């Protein structure tokens, strides 16, 4: 085919590759003065324009690549860019300066930019190419994985780095028993240290993923059908699996350049200088296919974006260089927040460690401080809220203005001292190289009031997204300096507050998250707004929380109507209104705990907690409890938990009112009521206050003539005594006042705001609440009453709702081959006549056997293969 003629007025630029880095190059180029001098043609191997590989796993949530797209609508047309999809470059003639595509196109160029990315590394183990073996790179790869997962029961991921844990999360989400195999002695060996790796492993194993470190995959075995049947490890462990995903790293995709005689690195990667130019003055290389001037091949998006911007500026004559990049990383892997920044391993001389560890909360933080009191790096597991600030401080290299010890403490323990200020020179967003000074300047000069505006103006936060919390802090700080009230939107997807979204849903009658997002939000939603909207809809709309779209919005506990415990098992807490329970019900609880081998504990809220049930056992446990007259205690939800009571005048010689009867009536009235945060209550039968009512969200204390109502109290890390709202109420007036108080709180509180914090934040405080609740100062009392009556009228037990619906029951299945075979990763040890979860590194055993005889099975070296075979 004859090469097409060059356009005289414009020079020809060919971009090979249209991934994340390729698209960023196009955006950066078109932003430069002089970009009109280039006519741009793009050759893309994939059948779709650039999409977000960083959040590739989110594809499983919608099974569509639409939400991942990075190429704005109309962008190519506006800039006259020609894109050839599904047509990769196959040959490069540097003498003729042409690129030939697979479809036979011969494209001349004055400048050529190679953004060919990388290819997954697949270890050459026997069986690596069997049907059922996959890599985790493209949407097509995910489609193939999902298809194979439909006929598999277990999967193995080879690789315990960032991509491997992403793949493990996907397999687990597809309902497979999941194993991760990592050659290094810990997960994410490059990003975290031994302490962080140990906690990360514990958290992931608690979620039901089996982790095998310090070993390699030596072979993949086929079954009778010729497909993957098992993975064999170097320690001779055999893992039964229907599919294997290789996520053991990537290699620079440099074959096109290598064949054309361009210099490549010893370990791969097209060699480029600080301007991203190759050994050929007409050819540039950017992203994962390039070996940078410092001799490294960067596999993260932020360095790729920096290289793309460097090449774009060079092509337009504005000058730039790339000599290296920050390798900091923040991700949520299998629901566990993980981050590493700077030098997380403390290799520099004179560095000291500051470490905070809370194994109960699953939090590990380590900061590394140099001799000059500047941060040099750190590791965060379980709590990465401060990542953006800490990474920026590390990159700035300036001495800390606050003690490093304070930076690792929980927010509740940091006191009222101001957070350390980020220098203007600190790079907040490494993906787009946006500094703290640039963010402050944008807020000050562009009239911005929220993170969404900063994103639009500076592009900060639009790459990997790990800097968003730091951006929010900078916006708030900048607005405070100007005396401007910051925007109080729920998240970047909704500019409205939770209270405003509540009113929108109440008034418009919208009944779905997607409908609300389309009408009043942007983007796809996140783990902040989805549960909030789910809670509001549960309050306003009768129906089961696991029906339709609602199910996908729920938090982990709500998703299974039980509390997830540290070893991957669940706790079941039936409602016991007022703490009153019959002997027959006590016997039933004992029998259920005995038959399913559950640990039992009497809680501080007059409940009996049954702990240790596997997810597949939950319906069977519920069936026994529901048949005995129990129902869900909603211990898993942001809802009413308990109404505690003393025995009152019925038994106590000091009691002046029947506190037990009132507590039962209140609990039955408000059961299942979803709220911004959990709700607790108590009723005391006299002023001796044995039920501790003043430490509750709403508490009632008996008087000789009625009831005193207290509101806004709570215990926990920040205890607060409740305030007296009304005195000497009769029961009718009391219930009416509580109804209105609760609905007013639900209607106006922020996300995850307890009644105590809400009351202190509310303009007018207690006096305002008293005026609304008792005097109807806002004229909304009738609405509040009606909303509560609607809740009471439509209440239905969620456990019973699952048991009555085969479709809902399908959610509660074991990851093993047979529902009655215990998952070996959910293990226990005997203690004080019961069982408890095995601690990390402690040899534990699963529970097995028919109901009534469940016992611990010792996992001896002989028994382990038997367990694997049964799986």
Which of 206, 465, 197, 200 minimizes the C-alpha distance to 336?
200
φ and ψ at residue 16, rounded to 5 degrees: -105, 110
User: What 3-state class would DSSP assign to 15?
Assistant: strand
DSSP E strands, 194-276: 209-213, 217-222, 228-233, 238-240, 243-246, 250-252, 270-271
Q: Rounded to an integer, what distance in angstroms lies between the CA atom of residue 508 and that of residue 516?
A: 9
Name the H helices within 596-712.
Answer: 618-627, 659-670
Residues 728 and 708 sit within 8 Å (Cβ to Cβ): yes
Report the alpha-carbon angle 442-445-449, nearest 5. 65
Whether 117 and 287 have beta carbons less than 8 Å apart is answered as: yes
710 forms beta bridges with 699, 724
**Of residues 275, 286, 261, the one with CA closest to residue 16:** 286
Identify the bridge partners of residue 698 per DSSP, sorted by sequence position. 681, 711
Cα dihedral 387, 392, 397, 401 sign: negative
Q: How many CA atoms within 13 Å lie on the side-chain side of 199? A: 24
Phi, psi of 337 (to 5 degrees): -80, 130
Angle between helices 765-775 and 731-748 (to 10 degrees): 120
Q: What is the 3-state secondary structure (H, E, C) of 361-401?
A: CCEEEEEEECCCCEEEEEEEECCCCCHHHHHHHHHHCCECC
- Separation CA 83–CA 15 (nearest Å): 9
Does residue 712 come out as left (phi exceeding 0), alpha (psi in the -120 to 50 range) or beta?
A: left
429 is in an annotated binding site: no
From the list 757, 695, 749, 694, the residue with the least C-alpha distance to 412 is 757
686 is in an annotated binding site: yes
| Helix (H/G/I), strand (E/B), else coil: 744 | helix
**652 is an annotated ligand-binding site residue:** yes
Stated as kind and residue range, the H or E segment containing 204 is: helix 194-206
**Is the Cβ–Cβ distance between 481 and 474 less than 8 Å?**
no
Q: Per the annotation, where are the binding residues?
A: 646, 652, 686, 690
Q: Per the annotation, where are the binding residues for siroheme?
A: 690
Q: Per the annotation, where are the binding residues for [4Fe-4S] cluster?
A: 646, 652, 686, 690
């Amino acid at each position: 085919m004859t090469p097409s003629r060059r356009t005289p007025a414009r020079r020809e630029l060919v971009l090979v590759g249209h991934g994340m880095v390729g698209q960023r190059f196009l955006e950066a180029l078109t932003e430069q003065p002089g970009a009109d001098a280039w006519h741009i043609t793009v050759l893309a191997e994939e059948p779709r324009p650039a999409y977000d590989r960083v959040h590739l796993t989110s594809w499983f949530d919608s099974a569509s690549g639409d939400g991942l797209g990075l190429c704005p609508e109309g962008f190519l047309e506006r800039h006259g860019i020609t894109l050839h999809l599904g047509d990769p470059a196959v040959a490069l003639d540097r003498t003729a300066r042409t690129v030939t595509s697979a479809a036979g196109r011969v494209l001349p160029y004055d400048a050529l930019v190679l953004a060919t990315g990388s290819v997954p590394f697949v270890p050459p183990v026997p069986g690596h190419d069997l049907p059922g073996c996959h890599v985790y790179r493209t949407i097509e790869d995910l489609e193939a994985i999902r298809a194979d997962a439909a006929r598999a029961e277990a999967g193995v991921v080879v690789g315990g780095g960032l991509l491997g844990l992403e793949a493990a999360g996907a397999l687990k989400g597809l309902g497979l028993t999941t194993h991760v195999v990592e050659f290094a002695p810990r997960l994410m060996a490059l990003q975290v240290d031994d302490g962080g790796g140990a906690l990360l492993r514990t958290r992931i194993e608690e979620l039901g993923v089996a982790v095998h470190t310090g070993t390699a995959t030596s072979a993949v075995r086929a079954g009778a059908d010729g497909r993957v049947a098992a993975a064999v490890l170097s320690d001779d462990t055999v893992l039964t699996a229907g599919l294997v995903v290789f996520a053991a790293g990537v290699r620079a995709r440099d074959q096109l350049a290598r064949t054309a005689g361009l210099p490549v690195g010893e370990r791969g990667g097209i060699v480029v200088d600080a301007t991203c130019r190759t050994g050929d003055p007409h050819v540039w290389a950017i992203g994962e296919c390039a070996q940078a001037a410092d001799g490294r091949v960067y596999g993260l998006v932020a360095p790729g974006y920096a290289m793309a911007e460097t090449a774009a500026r060079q092509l337009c004559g504005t000058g730039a260089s790339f000599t290296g990049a920050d390798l900091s990383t923040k991700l949520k892997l299998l629901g566990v927040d993980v981050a590493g920044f700077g030098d997380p391993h403390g290799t520099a001389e004179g560095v000291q460690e500051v470490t905070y560890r809370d194994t109960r909360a699953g939090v590990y933080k380590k900061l590394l401080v140099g001799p000059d009191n500047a941060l040099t790096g750190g590791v965060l597991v379980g709590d990465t809220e401060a990542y953006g600030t800490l990474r920026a401080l590390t990159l700035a290299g300036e001495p800390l203005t606050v003690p490093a010890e304070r930076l690792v403490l929980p927010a509740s323990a940091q006191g009222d001292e101001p957070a350390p200020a980020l220098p203007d020179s600190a790079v907040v967003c490494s993906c787009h190289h946006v500094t703290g000074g640039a963010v402050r300047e944008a807020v000050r000069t562009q009239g911005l009031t929220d993170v969404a505006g900063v994103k639009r103006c500076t592009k900060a936060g639009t790459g990997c997204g790990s800097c968003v919390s730091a951006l929010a802090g900078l916006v708030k700080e900048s607005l405070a300096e100007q005396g401007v009230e910051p925007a109080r939107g729920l998240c970047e997807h909704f500019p409205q507050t939770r209270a405003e979204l509540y009113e929108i849903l109440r008034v418009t009658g919208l009944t779905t998250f997607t409908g609300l997002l389309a009408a009043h939000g942007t983007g796809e939603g996140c783990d902040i707004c989805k549960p909030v909207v789910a809670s509001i809809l549960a309050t306003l709309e009768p129906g089961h929380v696991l029906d339709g779209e609602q199910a996908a919005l729920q938090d982990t506990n709500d998703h299974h109507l039980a509390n997830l415990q540290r070893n991957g098992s669940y706790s079941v807490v039936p409602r016991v209104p007022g703490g009153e329970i019959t002997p027959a019900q006590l016997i039933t609880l004992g029998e259920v705990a005995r038959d399913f081998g559950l640990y039992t504990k009497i809680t501080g809220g007059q409940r009996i907690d049954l702990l240790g049930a596997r997810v597949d056992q939950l319906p069977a446990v519920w069936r026994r409890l529901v048949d005995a007259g129990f129902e869900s205690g909603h211990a898993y939800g942001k809802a009413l938990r308990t109404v505690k009571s003393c025995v009152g005048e019925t038994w106590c010689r000091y009691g002046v009112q029947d506190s037990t009867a009132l507590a039962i009536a209140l609990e039955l009235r408000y059961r299942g009521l979803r709220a911004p945060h959990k709700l607790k209550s108590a009723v005391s039968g006299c002023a001796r206050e044995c039920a501790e009512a003043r430490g509750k969200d709403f508490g009632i204390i008996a008087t000789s003539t009625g009831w005193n109502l207290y509101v806004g109290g709570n215990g926990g890390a920040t205890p607060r005594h409740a305030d007296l709202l009304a005195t000497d109420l009769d029961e009718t007036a009391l219930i009416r006042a509580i109804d209105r108080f609760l609905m007013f709180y639900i209607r106006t509180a922020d996300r995850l705001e307890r009644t105590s914090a809400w009351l202190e934040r509310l303009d007018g405080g207690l006096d305002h609440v008293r005026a609304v609740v008792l005097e109807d100062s806002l004229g909304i009392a009738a609405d509040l009453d009606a909303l509560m009556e609607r809740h009471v009228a439509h209440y239905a037990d969620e456990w019973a709702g699952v048991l009555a619906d085969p479709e809902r029951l399908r959610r509660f299945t074991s990851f093993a081959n047979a529902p009655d075979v215990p998952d070996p990763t959910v293990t226990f040890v005997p203690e004080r006549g019961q069982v408890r979860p095995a601690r990390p590194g402690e040899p534990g055993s699963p529970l097995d056997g028919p109901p009534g005889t469940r016992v611990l099975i010792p996992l001896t070296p002989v028994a382990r293969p038997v367990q694997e075979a049964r799986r």
